[in-house]
C-alpha cells in the first residue's frame, strides 16, 4: 500500500493496519481482529476505503470499497457503541500534506451491500474534497 518512503513512515508511526487483498478472506479476518483489538483499547483505526494506489496510472481507484464500511459496522455491533469516522485527505507533493475533515458517524441503515457501497462512495467524495 505505501510504496513511497514517506507514506511508509507515516502509516507505521500511526499503526495503520495494512491489508493484503491477495487472500480476501484472510485479509478481512486479519483486519477485523486487529481493528477490534485497537478499538477495545480505545484507540484509532485508519481504514482506506479508496483501494489500491496504482503507480502506473498515478491515481486512486475511482470508487470506494465497501469492506471498510463493513469493518466499522462489525466493530460497532461487537463493541455495542457508535464509531466516528474522521476523513483524512493526504496530498503527496514536495511534502506530504494531511487534512482532517469533520467527524462522520456510520449510518444505522446500511443493510445491503449496495448501501455499504453508496456510503463508501460518500466517504470517497469527502476524502477527495480534502485532497484539493
Q: Which residues of the chain have pLDDT under 70?
A: 1-8, 12, 15-21, 48-65
Q: What is the C-alpha separation between 49 and 52, in angstroms, rounded?
A: 9
Task: Name the residue with cell 493484503.
Answer: 20
Range of the domain at 87: 5-130
pLDDT for 104 equals 93
Contacts of the segment 41-45: beta carbons below 8 A, 24+ positions apart: 43/15, 44/14, 44/86, 45/16, 45/17, 45/75
Give the number of C-alpha atoms closer than 13 A to the C-alpha of residue 55, restricted to the C-beta side.
Answer: 4
Q: What is the C-alpha separation between 54 and 120, in angstroms, rounded?
A: 19
- Single pTM value for the model: 0.69
Stretch (H or E) spanning 117: helix 113-130
Q: What is the C-alpha separation between 89 and 76, in angstroms, rounded?
A: 24
pLDDT for 54 equals 47
pLDDT for 5 equals 58
Q: How many domains does the chain have?
A: 1
pLDDT for 48 equals 66
Amino acid at each position: 500500500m505505501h510504496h513511497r518512503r514517506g507514506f511508509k513512515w507515516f502509516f507505521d508511526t500511526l499503526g495503520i493496519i495494512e491489508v493484503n487483498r491477495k487472500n480476501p478472506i484472510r485479509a478481512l479476518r486479519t483486519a477485523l481482529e486487529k481493528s477490534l483489538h485497537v478499538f477495545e483499547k480505545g484507540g484509532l483505526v485508519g481504514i482506506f476505503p479508496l483501494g489500491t494506489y496504482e503507480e502506473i496510472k498515478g491515481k486512486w481507484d475511482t470508487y470506494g470499497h465497501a469492506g471498510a464500511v463493513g469493518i466499522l459496522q462489525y466493530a460497532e455491533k461487537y463493541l455495542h457503541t457508535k464509531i466516528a469516522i474522521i476523513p483524512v485527505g493526504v496530498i503527496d507533493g514536495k511534502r506530504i500534506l494531511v487534512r482532517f475533515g469533520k467527524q462522520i458517524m456510520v449510518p444505522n441503515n446500511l443493510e445491503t451491500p449496495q448501501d455499504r457501497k453508496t456510503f463508501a462512495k460518500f466517504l470517497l467524495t469527502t476524502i477527495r474534497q480534502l485532497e484539493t
